[in-house]
Structure 1
Amino acid sequence: MKILAASRGSQSLHEPKEEGEALELVGRAERAWVDLPLEEASKAGWLTKLGVPSSALERALGREAPSYSSVEGWCILKLPAFTEAGALVDEGLSMVFNDRLIATFHPKDVRQLEEEMKEASPRFRVNAAYIVYQLAGRIVEDSHVVVEHLEADLMRLEDEVVEGGGGRDLLKRVLSRKRRLLMLSRGLWALRDAVHSLRRASPSFIDQELDARLGQVCDEVDRLMEVLETYKLMASDLINMHATSLSARLNVTVRDLTVAMLYLTVVATVIGFPNTVATIFGVPALAEAIEAHWISILIAASAVIPLLWLKGLWSLLKRR
C-alpha cells in the first residue's frame, strides 16, 4: 500500500504498514491518493472510515468491464491498463474518488503506479480528481509505445512476405500482430467510453480545466483508433499477399510436376513399346531389334529434352 499525501503546498509519498498509520496520514492531509493492489483489497475496508461508501468500494473491486458510475457523491471509474508484458487488459485500473481523496486498485501484474505517484500533477494539491487525467493519459502514452512496436513488426513481416521468406510460421506471426491490434483497439474504445461517461456526468469537482484535459485524452484516443484501423488493414493485406505468394509457388510446383510426369510417361511408353509389338505379332527377334533401336533414341532424347526445357525456363525467367 502506498499513500501520497498533500498538505500546505507540498506532497510526500508514504508506505504505511498498518491501518491506523494510513488513517492518520490521510486524515492529516488536505489531499490524498491511496494505491492498493487488488490482491490486498481485503485491507481496503478502512477507507469507509474516511467517508468512502462501502457500495462504491464493492463496485471498484468487482470484476467489471471499463465503465463509470457514481455513489453518494463519489465517482467510480474503471479503465483498462497495461500489464508489465505490454498487454492491455480490461480489469486493469479501478478508481474511487472525489476532490479530496482518490483510491486506486489494480492487479499486481499491471504496471505499478509508483512513478506516477512520485511525479503527481501539481494540480493534485488542489483537486485529487486530476489524478484521473494523469492515469488516463499514461494509458494513452503506453498505447503509443505499443503501436510503434507493432508498426515495426508489421514492416518487418511485410519485407519477409515480399521476399518470399518467413517460413511456415509467417502467417501465425501476422495473425498474432493482428490479434494484438484488435485487443488494443477494443481496450482504447472502452477507455474512451468510460472517460466520456465521466465528462457527461460532470460531477461538481470536474472543473472546466480538468474537463478540457479529459477531452484531450478522448481526442488522442480517436487519433490512435484511426492509426490502429490502418494497421489492421495492413495486417489483412499481408495475409492476402502471403496467400497469393503461396498460391503462385504451388502453381509453379504443380506445373513442374506435370512436365515431369509427362516426360516419365513418354519414357515408360518408349521402353514398353517393343514388348507390345512382340506380344501382338509374336516376333521376339523384332522386339529385340526395336527395343535396341528405341533405347538408343530414348538415351539421346533423355539428354536433349531436359536441356531444351531448362533453356526455355531460363529464358522465361530472364524476361521477367
Structure 2
Amino acid sequence: MAEKHFSPSGLAAQAVVEDEDESYVDFNYDEPGSLPGTLDLEADAPPPIIVLIDYNEAKATRVEVQTPEACLPYLDTESVSWVDVLGLGNEDIWRRMGQVFNLHPLVLEDVVNVPQRPKVEDVDSQLVIIARMVMPKESGFGFYSEQVSFVLGKYYLLTVQEEPERDCFQPVRDRIRANKGTIRQRGADYLACTLLDAIIDGFFPVLETYGERIEELEDEVVLNPTRRTLEKIYQIKRELLALRRAIWPQRDAINSLIRDGSNLISPDVRIYLRDCYDHAVQVMDIVETYRELASGLMDVYLSSVSNKMNEVMKLLTVISSIFIPLTFIAGVYGMNFNTEKSPWNMPELNWYWGYPLCWAVMIATAGSLVYFFWRRGWFDNISTIKED
C-alpha cells in the first residue's frame, strides 16, 4: 500500500460501451425464494478500485488501497476518512468489505444489487443513503444514470459508485485537496451532505440539454412534423420519466433526513441539507414542467399533421375544381359526332377557329376559377405547404 499525491487522475478505467437501447426504467428485484441479503454479483468480476482520502484541517492524503482490510487503520482515527469504491466488483470483496465496515447483510444487498430506489435508512450506528446520479452524455442526447450508495459513520464515509468511469465529485475532491471552504474543518456528515448536493446539482446540466431539445422540437413540430418527430417526442418523454423516478424519491429521502434527523448528522449540517432539499425541489419542478411540455408537443404534433393534411386536401380540391370544367369541355368535344348527318351534330368541329376558340374558353374558365379562389384567400393558406 503506497501513498500518492492527491489527484483523481489515477482513477482511470477502461470505458464501458453504452448500449444505445439503454433502459431508463430499469429496477432491481430479488429472485422468488431467494434469502434476504443475497448478493447478485459475478464471481469472476474484477475487483473495484478503492480510493481512500483521509483528511483533517492540517493535511489531506489520498491512497489507493488494494484490499478492504487496508482501510482499517484509517477508520480508528478522528480524521475524516472518505472511502470511495469505484465499481461493484465481486462477492468476495464485498463480504470482506462488510466485515471491515460492520455492514448489515441487508445494507450490502442494497449497495450491491442495483438499481435500488433512493432512500435513507438508519441501521445500527450507521446512516445508509441510496442516491441516483445522472450525467449528460457526450453526444448531448440522453444521460448516464447510476446508483451511488453512502454509508456514513462517525469518522468515515463509504461511497460506492456503480460505474467507475465518471462521477460529479471532482469539485469536492479539488476542494479537499486545495483546502478551499470549510470542508476540511468539518466532519464526515458535512462531506456526505456536500457529495449529495453535488449529485443533485448534477441534474441541472442534464435538464439544460432537455430544455434545448424541447425548444428545437417545438419549431420542428410547428414547421415540418414528420414520423421522426414523433419518435423524438416519445424518447424525450421516456427519458424525462426516468429523471422523475430518480429525483422524486431522492427529494423525499433528503426531506426525511431533515425531518427525522440522525445522531450522525449535526444540527449545522442539517441547515445545508435544507439547501440541498431546495435544489431537489427545483429539479423536480423543472422535470414536471418539461414533461408537461413534452405531452403538449404530442398534441401539437397531431394538430400540425391534421392541419397539414387539411391544407393538402384543400390544394387537391382547388386543382380538381379548376380541371373539372376543363375536363367537361374536352369530354364534350371528344365525342366525335358526324356533322354531315345533321347540322346539330357539333358544327363547331368544322369551324376554322374552333380549336383556338376551345382553348380560349378553357383558359378563360380556369382563369376565372383561379381568380375566384384567390379572392377568397385560399391560396394564402396553401402557400405554407410550399415552405414546409
- Normalised to the residue count of structure 2, the TM-score between the two structures is 0.69
Residues 55-93 of structure 1 deviation map (CA, whole Å, 9 limit, x = unaligned): 23233222321112232121211111114626263x511
Name the structure 2 match of 1:240. 299
- Give, as a single letter, the amino acid of the residue that structure 2 aligns with 1:14: V
Distance 1:123 1:3 in 2: 16
Q: How does 1:299-314 map to 2 (within 5 A)?
A: 299-314=359-374
Contact 1:181 1:228 survives alignment (8 Å): yes
Distance 1:3 1:109 in 2: 15
- Give, as a single letter, the amino acid of the residue that structure 1 aligns with 2:207: V
Are residue 103 (structure 1) and residue 161 (structure 2) matched?
A: no
Distance 1:8 1:238 in 2: 53
Q: How does 1:63-212 map to 2 (within 5 A)?
A: 63=114, 64-83=116-135, 85=137, 87=143, 89=145, 91-108=146-163, 111-112=166-167, 115=170, 116-120=172-176, 122-123=182-183, 126-162=186-222, 164-165=223-224, 167-212=226-271
Contact 1:31 1:125 survives alignment (8 Å): no
Distance 1:220 1:286 in 2: 91
- Over the residues paired in the alignment, what is the CA RMSD in angstroms? 3.4
Equivalent residue pairs, number: 317
- Aligned with residue 289 of structure 2, among 230, 240, 252: 230
Q: Once the two structures are aligned, what percentage of the paired residues are identical?
A: 19
- Aligned with residue 53 of structure 1, among 97, 103, 115: 103
What is the SS of the residue equivalent to 2:202?
Answer: helix
Distance 1:292 1:108 in 2: 91
Distance 1:209 1:29 in 2: 19
Residues 230-268 of structure 1 deviation map (CA, whole Å, 9 limit, x = unaligned): 333333333333332322221121122123334444344
Q: How does 1:221-300 map to 2 (within 5 A)?
A: 221-273=280-332, 278=337, 287=345, 289=347, 298-300=358-360
Query: CA 1:110–1:123 in 2, change beyond 3 Å: closer, same or farther?
Result: same
Structure 1 unmatched ranges of 5 or more? none
- Give, as a single letter, the amino acid of the residue that structure 1 aligns with 2:108: L
- Aligned with residue 81 of structure 2, among 32, 38, 45: 32
Structure 2 unmatched ranges of 5 or more? 1-49, 382-388
- Give, as a single letter, the amino acid of the residue that structure 2 aligns with 1:12: T
- Normalised to the residue count of structure 1, the TM-score between the two structures is 0.82
- Give, as a single letter, the amino acid of the residue that structure 2 aligns with 1:270: I
Distance 2:242 2:59 in 1: 40
Distance 2:380 2:310 in 1: 19
Distance 2:340 2:78 in 1: 117
Contact 1:93 1:104 survives alignment (8 Å): yes
What is the SS of the residue equivalent to 1:205?
Answer: coil
Which structure has the highest helix share of the two? 1
Residues 281-311 of structure 1 deviation map (CA, whole Å, 9 limit, x = unaligned): 9958855645567865542243234434444
Contact 1:59 1:76 survives alignment (8 Å): no
